[in-house]
């Protein structure tokens, strides 16, 4: 009986040298972030770099002019390897090539943020099939292919890891501000799919020491809003946000560091909303 009880270490904080803050370190870890040129992606990559990880910033080939200087700046600031890699996540051949690029540049993958996404106009219940297909191809199929790539590298290299996927409050709330239907039918469906995919992956990959979780941002000011949201839309969004402002990408860094690191070693298959209280309603 006592032997069985001893399986569980108690009062770890009493051990010499034990420091909780060490669990947040990503020193020596290798990671990638899709949508790495975007507001949330580059903020998370910076958090992981500050914590000591080498990180690949992954984005579409057209982002080259933004991604190269970004990688250089981040690398110089944090003294880790930051590499720009190009991949349209909706294209299977490009995702396969990404796998080769990641192993060549980083050696392996311990942490992955599956984050690339688009939210297109004209996406209410009458959404044209072409729009529906494009959103599902990037936001859901792309998430599936890149998450699968991450877990396959982790398993092949015989170590565990942490995969985090970006869902959205739109993935579980079809009501828009003021009670009307949200005009993101395909987007919300894709994000709901991501949350369920993450739960299936969490269950299937737990035996391999791979954890899978999602975050659901609320209104985070980023490239996804710039140029498309006016002041009226902005103010309408705030009606349902108790904190009464948009969030900023740096406000996701803490959650993304927690989920990537050993500080969350017993956390898998969950969704963490980061939404200024939107999901209270």
Residues from 91 through 150 that contact ligand NAD (CB under 6 A): 115-119, 138, 142
- Helical H segments across 182-230, by residue range: 185-205
Shortest distance in whole angstroms from residue 129 CB to ligand NAD: 18
| Closest approach of ligand NAD to the CB of residue 116, in Å | 3
Q: How many CB atoms lie within 10 A of CB 107?
A: 12
Cα–Cα distance between 176 and 264 in angstroms, integer?
A: 32
Which of 161, 134, 135 shows the shortest CA–CA distance to 149? 161
Q: Which of the residues 43, 90, 167, 168 is marked catalytic?
A: 168
Annotation says 167 is catalytic: no
Do strands 54-59 and 30-34 pair parallel, antiparallel, or not at all (unpaired)? parallel
Rounded to 5 degrees, what angle do the CA atoms 88, 108, 250 make? Answer: 65
Distance CA 19, CA 15 (A): 9
| Residue 142 Cβ vs ligand NAD, minimum distance, rounded to whole Å | 6
Rounded to whole angstroms, the Cα distance separating 82 from 181 reads 41
Return the residue nearest ligand NAD (CB atom).
38
Nearer to ligand NAD, 118 or 236 (CB): 118
Q: Should residue 59 be labelled a site residue for ligand NAD when binding is judged by CB under 6 A?
A: yes
Is 168 assigned a catalytic role? Answer: yes
* Two tokens, residue 82: 């930051």
81 is catalytic: no
Residue 217 is a binding residue for ligand NAD (CB under 6 A): yes
| CA nearest to 216, candidates 137, 281, 268, 277 | 277
Assigned token pair, 104: 């060549």
Tell me the closest approach of the beta carbon of residue 207 to ligand NAD, in angstroms: 28
- Nearer to ligand NAD (CB atom), residue 25 or residue 173: 173
84 binds ligand NAD (CB under 6 A): no
Sites of contact with ligand NAD (CB under 6 A): 34-35, 37-41, 59-60, 63, 88-90, 115-119, 138, 142, 166, 168, 217, 219-220, 222-224
**Residue positions annotated with a catalytic role:** 168, 187, 191
């Amino acid at each position: 009986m006592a032997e069985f009880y001893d399986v569980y270490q108690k009062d770890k904080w009493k051990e010499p040298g034990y420091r909780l803050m060490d669990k947040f370190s990503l020193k020596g870890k290798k990671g990638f972030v899709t949508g790495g040129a975007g507001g949330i992606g580059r903020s998370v990559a910076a958090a992981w770099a500050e914590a000591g990880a080498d990180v690949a910033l992954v984005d579409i080939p057209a982002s080259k002019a933004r991604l190269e200087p970004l990688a250089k700046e981040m690398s110089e600031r944090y003294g880790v390897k930051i590499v720009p890699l190009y991949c349209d996540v909706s294209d299977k051949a490009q995702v396969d090539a990404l796998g080769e690029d990641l192993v060549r540049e980083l050696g392996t993958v311990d942490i992955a943020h599956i984050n690339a996404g688009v939210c297109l106009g004209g996406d209410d219940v009458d959404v044209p099939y072409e729009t529906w297909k494009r959103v599902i191809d990037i936001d859901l199929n792309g998430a599936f292919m890149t998450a699968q790539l991450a877990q396959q590298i982790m398993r092949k290299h015989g170590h565990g890891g942490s995969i985090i996927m970006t869902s959205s409050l739109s993935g579980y709330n079809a009501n828009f501000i003021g009670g009307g239907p949200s005009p993101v039918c395909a987007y919300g469906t894709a994000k709901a799919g991501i949350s369920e995919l993450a739960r299936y992956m969490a269950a299937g990959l737990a035996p391999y020491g791979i954890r899978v979780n999602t975050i659901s941002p609320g209104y985070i000011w980023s490239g996804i809003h710039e140029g498309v949201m006016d002041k009226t839309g902005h103010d309408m969004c705030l009606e349902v946000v108790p904190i009464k402002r948009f969030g900023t990408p740096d406000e996701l860094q803490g959650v993304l560091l927690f989920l990537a690191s050993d500080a969350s070693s017993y956390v898998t298959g969950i969704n963490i909303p980061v939404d200024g209280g939107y999901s209270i309603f």
